[in-house]
Chain A
Amino acid sequence: MAKNDLQGALDLLVLKTLAQTGEMHGYGIVLHIQRASDELLSVEEGSLYPALHRMEQSGWIASEWAVTETKRNAKYYKLTAAGKRQLQEAEKNFEHLVKGVRAMLRYA
């Protein structure tokens, strides 16, 4: 269960990143998460790529090779319609989890 939820959290972060940035390569996703979370979260880069590929196979995201601003080839990912639905779902689940955990912590 715990593993699933952690994986779920990474998925959520990636999906949200893509929702906010539109189209992004793996490295950009790492940077974005770091920046957007005020450096609180840092994604383990070795885990990011398996997750990206898994989400692509599941049809949540789609990829395309393109050239970066620094003229470098990179694989860009973007959300699909299924990915957008998945994001909503994941956000809801996460809110739920956070609520639950918070309630648990507040319990005297």
Chain B
Amino acid sequence: MFSRSSVDREIEAELQSHIEMRTEENLALGMSPEGARHDALTRFGNPTLTKERVASADVALVLGSVWDDTRYAFRQLRKSPGFAATTVLTLAIGIGANLAVFQLLYGLLFAHLPVKQPAELYSLHAVQSPFDGEWFFSFPAYRRLRQATQKDAPVFARSGFGVGVLQETDGATSRIGFQLVSDNFFSVLGLAPSTGRFFLQGDDQRQQAEWPVILRYGYFKEHFGVNQQVLGRRATFNGVPIVIVGVAPEGFSGVVRGQAPDLWLPLAAQATNRFGTWFDSLGPGHDVGLDRSYLNQASIFWLWVLSRAPHGVKAAAPAHWTQVLAPDLSLIASASRDERDRARILASQVKLVSAQNGEGSLARTYSLPLFILMAMAAVILLVGCLNLANLQMARLLEREIEIATRIALGASRARILRQVVIEAVVLAAIGSVLAFATGRGASSLLLHWASRRGQTIPIDPQIGTAATLLGAALLLCALVGFGLLPAWLMTRKSFSMASKTRVGQVSSQSKAGRRWSDLLLASQVSFSLLLLCAAGLFAQTLRNLSRVDAGLDRDHVLSIHLDMRSTGFVKQQSNLSSFYDTVIQQLKALPMVRDAAVHMCTIPNCGWNTALHVFGSPEMAEAQLHGEEDHVGVSYFRTLGIPLLQGRDFAKEDNQGSQQVAILSRSYARKLFGDERSIGHWIGYSAPPGDRQFLIVGEVADARVDGLRSNAPPVVYFPIDQRPAPVQSIQVRVRGPWTTLPAEIRDSLHKLAPALPVTEIVPLDLEFDDGLSTEAMLARLTSIFGALTLALAALGFYGLLSFRVARRTSEIGIRMALGATRSQVRALFLGQTLQILVAGLIPGAALAVGTSYFARKLLYGTGTMDILALGFAVFVLAAVGLLATLVPAHQAASIDPMRALRSE
């Protein structure tokens, strides 16, 4: 049982030295050598027996060194591999899941930007842009802000994120992300280039024949390899000549969480009109020239403005900024028809919002799902530890006799505890190594699941100090929970009993102990119910959403994505309308294509926000006018399967020479005209006389063009031929299986226009599904978490109940000897299991309701309580619980009473 060799050797040496000392003394007293030795041995008694007694004193009291304890622990664990494996796996999965989610959550919410003194960075918020509600500024506004606090609080700006085509000198092209930034962007952030330089002062406004660009380190490394000489390299980007002047420092990927531009250009590059990024404007009718440079237009909003405001100036600077923004505020206010709106805009003040964790909506989008996952991971670990605590208790009960013996021999409680704890530490050490590995792998997997097609969310899931600390803390909690606590409870009992009871009788489990483990089991039931219920709700949400009637036929449409603008392709076309017509004819000639239409952008989230003024109703409130605007080709509605409800569809005859027309979606028509017939009314972009521009000729059904989660928006459709513009997609309605179609489409388009840049061809349903990636991730993960918890709970049930029955063999024998029938014995155990189940189900259901209320924003069509999911969870748990009881209870009831009694 113990490794006694070294201990034995030591005892032997000690006893030996005793005997030899006696012998020596005897010799000194004049005895013969044999006599001296004989006398020494006689006095000592039987040395083997003594050695045994000494050794048993040592063993019973637990060996001295931690090393011996550790070896003993390994030995014990090897004797119960099931327990060891369960513990290690539970810890690996439980802590691993926590680490995985925590790393993402931390990276998303708490990690600071890797810049100098991030706490001094603030985003400037003044007034939200009229249509998109973003905290945008125009370029002139940014310049004014910058001049207002040049020294004290340097102001810098960035555009949105764009994707462009890089063409290198060897002709290779690739699509990469870019961002336009002010000339002082890097210097105010306090960064030093890893090679080369950053922008020069004045790059903001200077037009250049060759635009300086700065590469992101990660892109540089991937694309060129670190050792490559890149400075001075030339290429064209969206058709504009560029030259690489520097590389940003390693680890820096911009100030927006979740967006990592591959290269940065100076703001002035916008004037080339080749670098489209997100913008908002006062709308048509306010001198907005989208084809002109934005740099001198105060009515186009496309910049986010930040500042480094040290503590001393933080209080005073916003007032300065508000002051210099006065002209912009009054311009924006003048565009609103609403008196109160105007007053609100005019009264706007610049506010500082901390940007130390980065800007952007990524945190908003993912923090709730991640918090929910974090809570679930915590629950898993909790259930796992409850389970382990129960198993540990059972194990200790099995070793009760051994422990009681040791206590009787004088082992202190601390010694016994140490032994148990060292055993737990050994398991925890193995578990934690696995946990960190699992955590790392799982967070990459999680990111992958949460990401949309083709683009991974750029959060760096590194195991940092925070994650390590969390892991250690969880491990400690787990150790106390499953290692120390049961042993402590256990030894307390054994101590009080050891002296009084016969060893054999210690085993009748005390009532208090049983209550404890009942409680543990019941809370496991509660928690696994909670997780299963949540899994059910999220799975149902995903199902509901993906089955939602989008109002269009997304199963039979392929979407061809084009990039006409950034490649400069559009500039080569003299007549866009006729080009579109040829393309559509070409596509329709393909056998599997039923219909095709060009489309201003790609679904979902296509429409621009707009406002329509109704001729004859100038008094309409501002909010009533707002909707979305879309520009489509002929037969767009037929292609997408959006039904025409009234009036006529767009036709070839709606061209630049004819009366400008529009088609409203049902809800927009309702919004503007109520129950009145919309066809025949006039609408326009601005107040009279600008409100008699377009004639409404038709009305189509609503469609969820902004994604499956959001309701169908009010949309006004205009024929693209009346105001020709570059399109971003061609929608194609297909018949039959279309697997080979994308290749054919590429082929046929290439023949027609070799330069037409087709970026991808995607089924429309996939594009819609992409919008559900968060839901899909939640559904998938909660299902996994739920299944894990259920498995743990089942394991706990089976293990503990069967163990209990086995320990109550003699009690069963007595009961049956006293006349109890087998079914009565069975009923006894089933009744106890049912009690535990019910005790767990009720709080579990309450918890589930609470959680679904907390997560209601993420649910769709499920209400706050899902009976189906709850029912399923209850059914599974009850089935597992009863099964886990039935087998051991049956065994118990089959015991021969006499044998059971004799076992005592």
A→B interface (CB under 8 Å): 25-27, 44-46, 49-50, 53-54, 56-59, 68, 70, 72-75
Contact = CB atoms under 8 A, between A and B. Distances in A.
B876 interface: no
Contacts of B15: 49
B61 A74 contact: no
8 tightest A-B CB contacts, nearest first: A46-B45, A57-B61, A27-B21, A46-B50, A50-B53, A53-B57, A50-B57, A27-B18
Given A45-B44, A54-B61, A58-B410, A73 B13 contact: yes
A46 B53 CA distance: 9
A53 B53 CA distance: 10
19 contacts: A26-B18, A45-B18, A45-B43, A45-B45, A46-B46, A49-B14, A49-B53, A49-B54, A50-B50, A50-B53, A53-B57, A56-B64, A57-B57, A57-B61, A57-B411, A58-B410, A70-B24, A72-B20, A75-B10
A59 B20 CA distance: 28
B845 interface: no
A51 to B, nearest CB: 8
Nearest to B409: A54
Contacts of A74: 14, 17-18, 21
A38 to B, nearest CB: 19
Nearest to B63: A57
Interface of B: 10-11, 13-15, 17-18, 20-22, 24, 43-46, 49-50, 53-54, 56-58, 61-62, 64, 409-412, 415
A25 B21 CA distance: 10
Nearest to B411: A57
Contacts of B50: 45-46, 49-50
A57 B54 contact: no
Contacts of B18: 25-27, 45, 49, 74
Chain B contact surface mostly: helix
Contact of A75 (B14, B22, B56): B14
A25 B17 contact: yes
B410 A75 contact: no
A49 B13 CA distance: 12
Given A26-B14, A57-B58, A72 B21 contact: yes
A25 to B, nearest CB: 7
Contacts of A56: 64
A46 B54 CA distance: 9
Contacts of B17: 25, 27, 72-75
A95 B415 CA distance: 31
Nearest to A53: B57
A70 B23 CA distance: 13
B64 A46 contact: no
A53 B58 contact: yes
Contacts of A49: 11, 14-15, 18, 50, 53-54
Contacts of A44: 45
A75 B53 CA distance: 18
Given A26-B14, A53-B58, 10 more contacts: A25-B17, A27-B22, A46-B46, A46-B53, A49-B54, A57-B62, A57-B410, A74-B14, A74-B18, A75-B14
A50 B411 contact: no
B57 A46 contact: no
Contacts of B14: 26, 49, 74-75
Nearest to B28: A70
Contacts of B24: 70, 72
B125 to A, nearest CB: 67
Contacts of A59: 412
A94 to B, nearest CB: 19
Nearest to A28: B21
Contacts of A26: 14, 18
A56 B63 CA distance: 11
Nearest to B53: A50
A29 B11 CA distance: 17
The winner among A25, A50, A58, A68 for most chain B CB atoms within 10 A is: A50
B6 to A, nearest CB: 13
Contacts of B43: 45
Contacts of B57: 50, 53-54, 57
A72 B25 CA distance: 13
A67 to B, nearest CB: 11
A72 B46 CA distance: 23
Contacts of B62: 57
Contacts of A46: 44-46, 49-50, 53
A68 B21 contact: yes
Contacts of B64: 56-57
Nearest to B43: A45
Contacts of B415: 57
Nearest to A56: B64
Contacts of A53: 11, 54, 57-58, 61
A22 B800 CA distance: 54
Contacts of B46: 46
A60 B281 CA distance: 86
Given A27-B17, A45-B44, A75-B17, A54 B49 contact: no
B558 to A, nearest CB: 80
A92 B608 CA distance: 95
A72 B20 CA distance: 9
A70 to B, nearest CB: 7
